Structure formats: structure tokens, C-alpha cells
Structure 1
Amino acid sequence: MDVGTTVSDRPQTGYMSSIIEAGTAACRLYGPSKTNVADIARLLGKSPASVYKIFPSKAAIWDAIAGNFFETDLTFTPSAGGELTSAASRLKETALGQHRLMLQARHGDSQMFNLVVLAADGSWPSFRDHLKRLQAYIGELISTGIATEEFVPRNVDTAASCFCASIISLWDPRIIGALPSSHCELSAHELASFAVAALSQVAPGEESMAAE
């Protein structure tokens, strides 16, 4: 499914939110593959044509529903007082917290989880934006760790990109969906710990990056 521009204009923000809410409810009832715009319109008591006045296509509606789910249900919130802990601890907490949210969605909200798998498979804007937000936050934590001398000075954008790539198996819904039911968080903890520890070291050939 090709995803075009998300919304052509935004004159009716309230109605847009209602469409996303109804679309989420329909997806949970019928599943993303069986839900259609008529189902969403019926839940709203509106016509499909009125829905298309807000969203230019079915693909745009699905992307908006997925984007809302990423932001509301799949965005990890650090624990209170996190600013008092080390950057390394907060990085590990974020990596594992995001992983737990994905696991919880897989087991407790399977239809919406199926939708975000589709978003990842199709590289929808909602999924790309989700990864960008995660990487931006990781970059902030790495920058903090460099400032407090927990981490070796280096190009923050490059380090954040490498960190996220190294633990993507903890965050990608396609990989999470393929995990056996007996999956243990111990391996996730070890992977996150390994990735965080790498930021405290200068790898061979990395001296030039550290000097930037």
C-alpha cells in the first residue's frame, strides 16, 4: 500500500481526530486488513465521502492511525527524576522501555500491532517519523553523556544513528512479531548494555570522529 501525503489540508482538526479515533476502534474490531473506510464512517455516523474530504486516500488514513498509535502507545516515557541518573542508565532504560512497549502491544493489542508491522513493512511516514523521534532523543542523551564525560566525545548524530541501528531488533515491530513466545528480556538487556558500553570507548579508527 503506497502512502501519499498525510493530509491535504487541516481545516477540521477536531474531525480529523475523530476519524483517527474511529479508525483505531475499527482496526481493533476487524483488523487492519479487513477494515475499510465505510467501517470508519459508520462508527462516526458520517459518509465515506466526508472522511475523504479530510484524508486524500485510505493509505493516508491508515498512516495517520498508525502515527497516532506510535505517539500515544509506543513512545516510552522515562521515569520521573531521570535527569538525576546517569546518561548511560537513561539510555538503557529507554532502549528496554521501548522494547517492552512493543512486546506489550504484540501480546495485548494485536490488531494495532499488526498495523504498525504494516507501517514498518511499507516504510510509511508514521514509522519513519517514529524512528526519527527515537534517534533524536537518543542523540540528546548521548550529548548529555559526552558533556558529563560519561561518553567519549564524538559526532552525536553519527553515534545516535549507530546506537539505534545496533539495537533495532528491540524496536522493529517486524522483528518483535517474529520473536518466540518464550522470548526473555535478558538477551535484550545484554544487547542494550553492550550498545551503551560502546559509547564509552573509542573504537579503532574512530579517533578522527572523536575529534570532530
Structure 2
Amino acid sequence: MMEISKTVRLRPRAEYVSRIIEAGTAACRHYGPSKTNVADIARLLGKSPASVYKIFPSKAALWDAIAGSFLETTLRVPPLAIGEGCDAASCLEEAALGQHRLMSEARDGDRQMFSLVVLAADGCWPSFMRHLKDLQADVGRLIRAGITSEEFAPVRVDVAAPCFCASVVSLWDPRLIGASSSAHRISAHALVSFAVAGLRKHPGCRNDLDEHIRLDEGPT
């Protein structure tokens, strides 16, 4: 009974949090992240700024929540289902290119929110760091599936996943996407294909990734 009562009490708060984030997103799109303030958001809600600060103790916390919601709902490819007999390499390519497509679409079609994400990346906001962690976890899951299906060489997933993410960072990091030009640039497909190829099993070849891991660890 106590747990049910607690859930009932928390529901209005959760709903108000969602409303604040929705209003904050709308204000950011209208005014831009640098010109939006808490008063603008409160006005859209028909509330006072004090009521917003009761939920978010600072403007920084509110902006982080708005960025986090956008990253989660708009700028992350839904995890692909991996089943028996799946082509993990193709799934990994699709996920990597899909992530790049979402970032590019936001850059070109939702500039104000994209600017907020750039601020989140520059400031290493918790929302952006969580976003990177989630992407790495998705990549790790696909690599693990590829190892199981023997498409990929047996490597340490906890090392291979961040290595893969680092190799395609120019496609995923909003700061790099926003600053890139189309001239003299490797295509996204070529870069992703190259990164995926490094994970594949190659007959007669030793496991270079694990060998580099051992060398990086140094003497014990």
C-alpha cells in the first residue's frame, strides 16, 4: 500500500517534469539556447519561474534535462534486434550510419536544438556523457553478437566497442559534424565499412586488436 501511495504521489511530479522539458524544447527552438531563460519556459507553462526551480534547482540542470530528452528521443538510433543467424556486421553498419543520419538531419533541420547538443558536448554535460555511454553499449552488443556468430574475431568487447566508436567519432560528434565541410571528405559509408572490416575474422591472421591491448597494458 505504501509503494502504491508513493507512485500516485510521484506521478504528478513526473508529468510536470515532462511538461517543463516539452516547454523548454519549444522555447529553445524559438529563441535559441543562448537566449532562452527560465521565465520564457514558465510563461509557456502558465506557471511562475519559482515553480520550475522547485523541480530543477538550476538553469544548468534544466538545460541538461532538455538536451538529454532530445538526445534520447531524437538523436539515438533504436537498438536493432539481433536474432539467430543475423548479419551482425550489416546491423552494425546500419546502426552507425543511422546515427550519423540523425545527427546530420538535426544539424540541417533543427538548428537550435542541435546548438544545444553542441553545448552539451562542449561542456561534457551528464546527458551527453550518458548518450555516449548508451551508444557504446549498443555497439558492444552488436560486436558481441558478431563474435557469437563468428563474423567478428574474438576480442575484448569492452575495448573493441570504444575503439569502434572512436573510429567513427567524426560521424557522431555534433561538434565535428557541425564544423565539417563536404569537400575532400571520406564518405560516411566508406568510413563505417572500414571500421567494421577491422572487426571481421580474417583467415590466417592473428588477433591484432588483442595483441595491441596486451602491448598497451605494458609489463605486469
Please confirm whether the aligned pair reaches a TM-score higher than 0.5, indicating the same fold: yes
State the match for 1:140 in structure 2: 141
What are the residue-to-residue correspondences of 1:37-186 with 2, within 5 Å? 37-77=38-78, 83=83, 85-180=86-181, 182=182
1:187 aligns with 2:187: yes
Deviation, 1:29, is: 0.3
TM-score after normalising by structure 1 = 0.87
RMSD over aligned Cα atoms: 2.2
Question: What's 1:5 paired with?
Answer: none
Other-structure match for 1:206: 210
Mapped contact 1:78–1:90 kept (Cα < 8 A): no
Matched, 1:196 2:196: yes
Deviation (angstroms), 1:183: 6.3
Query: Residue 25 of structure 1: CA displacement?
Result: 0.2
Equivalenced residue count is: 199
Q: Relative to 1, partners in 2 of residues 1:37 and 1:199: Cα closer, same or farther, differing over 3 Å?
A: same
Q: Which runs of 4 or more aligned residues in structure 1 lie more than 2 Å from their structure 2 counterparts after TM superposition?
A: 81-85, 182-186, 201-210
| Partner SS for 2:66 | helix
What letter is aligned with 1:171?
A: W
Contact 2:155/2:209 (8 A) holds in 1: no
> For residues 137 and 171 of structure 1, what CA distance do their matches in structure 2 show?
14
The residue type paired with residue 137 of structure 1 is D
C-alpha displacement of 1:209: 5.5
Higher Cα radius of gyration: 2
Would you say the 8 A contact 1:154–1:209 is kept in 2? no
Shift of 1:75: 1.0
> In 2, distance between residues paired with 1:35 and 1:62?
10
* CA displacement at 1:15 relative to structure 2: 0.5
Task: Give the letter aligned to residue 156 of structure 1.
Answer: V
Q: Give, in whole Å, the separation in 2 of the partners of 1:205 and 1:162.
A: 10
The answer to whether the 8 Å contact 1:78/1:93 transfers is no
User: CA distance change for structure 1 residues 162 and 72 in 2, over 3 Å: closer, same or farther?
Assistant: same
Question: Helix, strand or coil for the counterpart of 2:39?
Answer: helix
Report how far residue 187 of structure 1 moved.
1.2
How many angstroms apart in 1 are the aligned matches of 2:187 and 2:171? 10
Identity of aligned residues (%): 66
Does structure 2 conserve the Cα–Cα contact (< 8 Å) formed by 1:135 and 1:160?
yes
Task: Point out where structure 2 has 5 or more consecutive residues left out of the alignment.
Answer: 1-9, 215-220
Letter in 2 for 1:169: S
Letter in 1 for 2:194: F
Letter in 2 for 1:194: F
Q: 1:78 deviation in Å? A: 5.8
Q: Distance in 2 between matches of 1:52 and 1:129?
A: 23
Cα distance in structure 2, aligned partners of 1:204 and 1:157: 15
Alignment partners' CA distance in 1, 2:185 and 2:103: 12
Deviation at 1:179, TM superposition (A): 1.7
Contact 1:95 1:192 in 2 (8 A): yes
Q: Secondary structure, in 3 states, of the residue corresponding to 1:35?
A: coil
| TM-score, structure 2 normalization | 0.84
